[in-house]
Structure 1
Amino acid sequence: MRIRFPLKELIRYSLVLSLSIMVFVAIMTYSQELDLLSGISRATLSGAVLLVTCAVSILLIVLFEKRNFTDSARHTHLRLFLGSLINVLFMFGYHFFRLWAEKYGLIPSALYVSEEMQVLEGWQLYLLIIIPALMVYGLVHLLHNFILLNHLKTQTELEVSHLRSVNAETTNQLLRQQVQPHFLFNALTVLKSLIRKDGKTAEAYLLRLSDFLRISFSQNKKGIATVREEVKLCRDYLEMQKMRFGDALEYTFDVPDSYQDGILPFFSLQPLAENAVKHNELTDERPLHIRITVHDGVIKVENNLQRKASVEGSTGNGLSNLSERYKLLSGNNIHIVDDGVSFSVAFNIIPV
């Protein structure tokens, strides 16, 4: 994402600053009881000087930083030096032009010059020219740097937000691809076995498998789902595993109706149930118990621990994946508890 250069903002704020200075000088001149023409002339001159200074600053910014202004700090000191030098030269150029114009009677000095500049001569006069020139450019330099940094901060925040959105979408795409080949192989093997033994059970299994695969590969661009949708997906998965493992797998759902419309990360409950099945031993003597419950707005997936010695094909990225996606959606973390007897993952349901 390329960050847009804030040229319009620089010009707009420069014009506002110049007009403000013109008004300020006009008011100050009027308070000194000078004539109207003198006040307007000095105010116009002050605004013009500031506007030229702003133009010099903007030209230097464009020259040094437009192509890569995200690295603007590197050129700040160089811009300050060159801008101050150009502004001092400009003020001296104006001073000598004014002297030439006065010599030939083109302008009356009282309209444009303060009393100090009419009295001072030599190095004192030059010092009076240099110091205001440096102060004026310093003010403009600070203003433009503030605009650049503020714009860069805003654009960077937008870029981070965009990257988070892209990352969430990419994560969802990767998540949909986590329906591993061995799961499909096992599902089809179970289906083949059920067709031979019990046609009605095989039909029910096929319907659940169809719903599960349809939702798994659906284009959920927002990356969210309702509790009702996640519970159905998880229930379909567990029911298929129940048909496979029989009494070696037990599961319960305790999700009140008042929470059914809450928001969860897409594909959040089923992977937790799948992890429980993948990482634990399942036997009729020692069945695996999976419980999905909701209490005070917190949904929890819990199972008893009877770990397998090794788990083939496990990457360990499932929980970190869920944790990252949940934090992007809610700003909170998931809570993982492993006390050696049971394992649980809990997180708040996001209200609608």
Structure 2
Amino acid sequence: MGFNCNRVNYPLKDWIKRSFIFSFCIVSILAIDIMYQDQPAFWCNILIAFVCFFGVIVFNLLLHIHFDLKDPVKSPVYVKLLSFLSTLGICSLTFYITSRLGVMNMEEKRILNTSTFGFILLMVLRAAILNFIVQLWLYFVMNDHFRNQLELERSKLDKLNERAINQMLRQQVQPHFLFNALSSLKSLIKKDSAMAESYLLQLSDYLRASFTISEDGLATVKQEIQLCEDYLCMQKIRFNDAISYTIAVSASVLEDKLPIFSLQPLVDNALKHNQYTVEHPLHIEILNHDGWIIVRNNVCPRKTSHEDNNNYGLNNLKERFSYYLKESVHIHDHGTSFEVHVKIISS
């Protein structure tokens, strides 16, 4: 919590500009009432009133940003108290400046000379009214901003979700993958019919799972792990000892959720962007730790690759996760190993 940490989430410069114009309009309205009452001190009083009003608005903006509050009406009591006390302090400073400059109006002088308590009560009343007006202004400005932001984010997320689903469908059945799978199946039929039958069953299970889309776009961890396992089994048959894999996901998270088709593309990326031989095999690990699924592989980068850039697939995954959670995909490149951590969505 703090102003420096929170200010990036608030359009402070825009709010200050709008508040400047609002303060100018309010003070201009007040000027119509007093411009003929005390002509010699007119401009001085107008300037002081403007600085006071604008200062109260800016201080309250900074206060709400510091405490990361988006709705002044629903702010905690201690924030409302701080807001009122700051307004009272600014009003008191304004009275002090006007008295030192000798531009205090006759009514204020009369109350001050008659009763100190009455003068304090006047300051408290004015501070309360001013604070109320400022809070209404902040509510209008902040509520308008966050409502528009929410609508924009909702529209963006809907578009991202639609694009992610389309991208997911394109990824689910790639012609390149099917070609390799059928070629491998053809070779196995000639060499080992039993292995070919096993391969065909895994391919069938993989295709069936890849076409299954839930209404909420989520799948259980168990379903995602099974999809990866079917895919890796097929690749293992194809590349033999050039690849190996370990799946160590505890049973306690198997019924939790992940965006559908989120783990298999990570496995596919590991195969796509690395070279592997029997002498230098690729090892892929899938495990869970502290609420995250981790997909890890050793790095043996290809010298040339005509496949899609790895960042595109990872950015697509981040966009899909952003529909459900914030800060839900972490990427760690350790040089000799590459890890992607995805947040589990508790059921």
- Which band: TM-score by shorter chain? 0.5 to 0.7
Q: Secondary structure at the match of 1:196?
A: helix
**1:283 correspondence with 2:277:** yes
| Paired residue type of 2:148 | T
Aligned 1:120-199 pairs, distance under 5 A? 149=141, 152-153=144-145, 155-166=147-158, 167-179=160-172, 180-199=174-193
Q: Secondary structure at the match of 2:340?
A: strand
**1:338 correspondence with 2:330:** no
Q: Secondary structure at the match of 2:179?
A: helix
Count of paired positions: 242
Contact kept, 8 Å, 1:273 with 1:301, in 2: the verdict is yes
| Paired residue type of 2:166 | Q
**1:321 correspondence with 2:316:** yes
Larger Rg: 1
| Paired residue type of 1:186 | N
* In 1: Cα distance, 2:179 partner to 2:221 partner: 28
Distance change (3 Å), C-alpha of 1:341 and 1:147: closer
Give ranges in structure 1 of 5+ residues lacking alignment: 1-71, 85-140
CA displacement, residues 271-326 of structure 1 (integer Å, 9 cap, x when unaligned): 11111111112211221111111122221111111111112222331111112222
* In 1: Cα distance, 2:325 partner to 2:213 partner: 21
Distance change (3 Å), C-alpha of 1:220 and 1:315: farther
* In 2: Cα distance, 1:164 partner to 1:262 partner: 26
* In 2: Cα distance, 1:247 partner to 1:212 partner: 22
Contact kept, 8 Å, 1:164 with 1:328, in 2: the verdict is no
* In 2: Cα distance, 1:283 partner to 1:147 partner: 64
TM-score by length of structure 1 reads 0.57
* In 2: Cα distance, 1:178 partner to 1:301 partner: 18
Aligned to 1:307: 301
* In 2: Cα distance, 1:147 partner to 1:239 partner: 58
Match of 1:218 among 199, 202, 212: 212
Distance change (3 Å), C-alpha of 1:323 and 1:282: same
* In 2: Cα distance, 1:220 partner to 1:169 partner: 14
Distance change (3 Å), C-alpha of 1:150 and 1:315: same
* In 2: Cα distance, 1:307 partner to 1:154 partner: 44
Q: Secondary structure at the match of 2:300?
A: coil
Contact kept, 8 Å, 2:272 with 2:307, in 1: the verdict is no
Distance change (3 Å), C-alpha of 1:268 and 1:233: same
Aligned to 1:351: 346
* In 1: Cα distance, 2:280 partner to 2:165 partner: 35
Aligned to 2:76: none
**1:237 correspondence with 2:231:** yes
TM-score by length of structure 2 reads 0.57
Q: Secondary structure at the match of 1:282?
A: coil
**Share of identical aligned residues, percent?**
43
Give ranges in structure 2 of 5+ residues lacking alignment: 1-17, 31-132
Q: Secondary structure at the match of 1:340?
A: coil
What is the deviation of 1:161? 4.3
Contact kept, 8 Å, 1:169 with 1:223, in 2: the verdict is no
What is the deviation of 1:189? 0.8
* In 2: Cα distance, 1:164 partner to 1:218 partner: 25
4+ residue runs over 3 A deviation:
141-155
What is the deviation of 1:154? 5.5
Contact kept, 8 Å, 1:255 with 1:294, in 2: the verdict is yes
Aligned 1:32-51 pairs, distance under 5 A? none
